[in-house]
């Protein structure tokens, strides 16, 4: 018998024997193989002696073995081996083997894993009519026990322990490893974003449209529970003195002691911000408009607002007992340091103290940003009269004296002639026209109507 025949028939015959033995005692499967024939027999089919046997006819060469084919007597009078029987019926849903005991081919229903259940599909996905969903695993068939390992052992169409196929093992069936609270609903498992379902979609133990389990659906689900994460908050709950609307009526002020002065601001003792729940005019946001030394707006300062706008702790002078002469600047109040700025910083009625007007000419010193160029001389400041022929810039305009030599011709103005004696050789003479540099004593007289040399002619 050829090696091809031996290699092929041995595993098939063995499979057939297992199948037939299993089917004889198996129950609960409509597609179990029926024991209608003996299993094909794997018989030794060695034809090695045939080639050495002399013969006169084919009968002389017959070795009595069916599966290795029909031997013939060759033309040289020597027996020739036959060709192994081809039992392939071209059906991918059968297991093919030569049955030596029956001298015929056996083609049994496909059951490669030998679990007694015919395969549902062939090697290439062909429909074989069986119900074994995995014909390569003997622990997978319709009557196998579930094992909570994510494999569909019982061929139910879903992995064992995950009947709904949502990727989560059943909490009830797979103790210790499962987390799916409803293994018959693929929309219910941990990780689901809760919506308004009437079941526990995220497996947190609460119905999704009533997460806090207080019997009231969330307002997000068109219910009346204003806080579905707090079981003590729902319509009909007892309102307590805190900042929570327990009864979902839209107000936190309807509890006893929450707003005794009815100023719509929760009392500070209830977690609110009303620092005086006996006075409706005292609460955050109230006007601090009275000189009453009361903290009307609950900011911790009793003299803010009109009473002390600059928060320097001195009441405004508009208040009966106020002494702050400037309630818009925190650094101006009685006793403040007088700055060289032209303002009455210490509220003593004068801005000129503190080096701002040392010469008391009522003009702010230039060092303080004023226009008094000499704060030691009350006669010198912006707007002072200039022209007393003393070489001093009295009006602080940058010029020493308008009447000395305005035209810059080197001759003293006639108004100062004889008064100034240290102005060179011309101190005793006077410039008769100090606005024209071409006119002065000693100038050349020309033929016109002007007295160029100031000689009176």
A 10 A CB-CB count for 37 gives 14
pLDDT of the residue at 128: 93
pLDDT of the residue at 292: 72
Band of residue 305 on the pLDDT scale cut at 50, 70, 90:
low
Please report which helix (H) or strand (E) contains residue 80, including its range: strand 79-80
pLDDT tens-digit profile of 376-431? 778 778 777 766 676 677 778 776 655 676 777 777 777 776 566 555 555 566 77
Count of alpha carbons within 13 Å of 1, Cβ hemisphere only? 23
Tokens of 101: 């005991």
Strands 94-99 and 104-109, how do they pair?
Answer: antiparallel
Q: Could you give the 3-state DSSP secondary structure of residue 307?
A: helix
pLDDT tens-digit profile of 198-213? 788 888 878 777 778 7
Full-model pTM: 0.30
Across 12-34, average pLDDT: 38
pLDDT of the residue at 79: 93
Long-range contacts of 193-201 (CB under 8 A, 24+ apart): 195/221, 196/220, 196/221, 196/222
| Mean pLDDT, the chain, whole residue set | 76
């Amino acid at each position: 018998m050829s090696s091809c025949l031996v290699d092929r028939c041995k595993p098939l015959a063995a499979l057939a024997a297992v199948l037939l033995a299993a089917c004889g005692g198996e129950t609960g499967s409509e597609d179990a193989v029926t024991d209608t024939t003996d299993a094909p027999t794997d018989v030794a089919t060695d034809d090695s002696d045939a080639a050495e046997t002399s013969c006169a006819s084919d009968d002389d060469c017959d070795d009595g073995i069916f599966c290795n084919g029909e031997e013939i007597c060759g033309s040289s009078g020597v027996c020739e081996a036959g060709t192994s029987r081809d039992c392939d019926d071209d059906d991918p849903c059968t297991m093919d083997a030569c049955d030596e005991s029956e001298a015929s081919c056996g083609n049994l229903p496909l059951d490669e894993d030998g679990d007694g259940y015919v395969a549902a599909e062939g090697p290439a996905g062909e429909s074989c009519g069986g119900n074994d969903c995995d014909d390569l695993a003997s622990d997978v068939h319709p009557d196998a026990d579930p094992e909570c390992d994510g494999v569909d052992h019982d061929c139910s169409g879903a992995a064992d322990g995950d009947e709904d196929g949502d990727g989560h093992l059943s909490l009830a069936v797979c103790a210790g490893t499962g987390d799916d609270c409803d293994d018959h609903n693929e929309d219910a498992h941990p990780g689901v974003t809760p919506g308004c379902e009437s079941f526990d979609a995220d497996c947190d133990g609460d119905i999704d449209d009533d997460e806090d389990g207080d019997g009231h659906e969330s307002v997000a689900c068109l219910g009346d529970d204003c806080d579905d994460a707090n079981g003590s908050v729902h319509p009909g709950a007892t309102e307590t003195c805190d900042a929570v609307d327990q009864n979902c009526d839209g107000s936190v002020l309807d509890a006893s002691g929450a707003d005794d002065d009815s100023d719509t601001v929760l009392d500070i003792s209830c977690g609110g911000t009303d620092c005086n729940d006996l006075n409706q005019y005292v609460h955050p946001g109230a006007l601090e408009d009275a000189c009453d030394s009361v903290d009307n707006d609950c900011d911790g300062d009793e003299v803010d607002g009109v009473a002390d706008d600059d928060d320097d702790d001195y009441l405004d002078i508009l208040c009966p007992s106020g002494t702050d002469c400037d309630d818009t600047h925190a650094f101006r109040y009685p006793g403040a340091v007088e700055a060289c700025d032209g303002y009455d910083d210490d509220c003593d009625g004068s801005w000129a103290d503190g080096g701002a007007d040392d010469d008391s000419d009522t003009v702010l010193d230039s060092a303080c940003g004023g226009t008094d160029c000499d704060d030691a001389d009350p006669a010198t400041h912006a707007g002072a009269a200039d022209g007393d022929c003393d070489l001093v810039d009295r009006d602080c305009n940058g010029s020493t004296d308008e009447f000395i030599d305005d035209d810059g011709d080197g001759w003293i103005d006639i108004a100062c002639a004889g008064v100034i004696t240290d102005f060179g050789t011309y101190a005793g003479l006077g410039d008769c026209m100090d606005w024209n540099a071409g006119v002065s004593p000693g100038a050349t007289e020309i033929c016109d109507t002007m007295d160029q040399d100031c000689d009176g002619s």
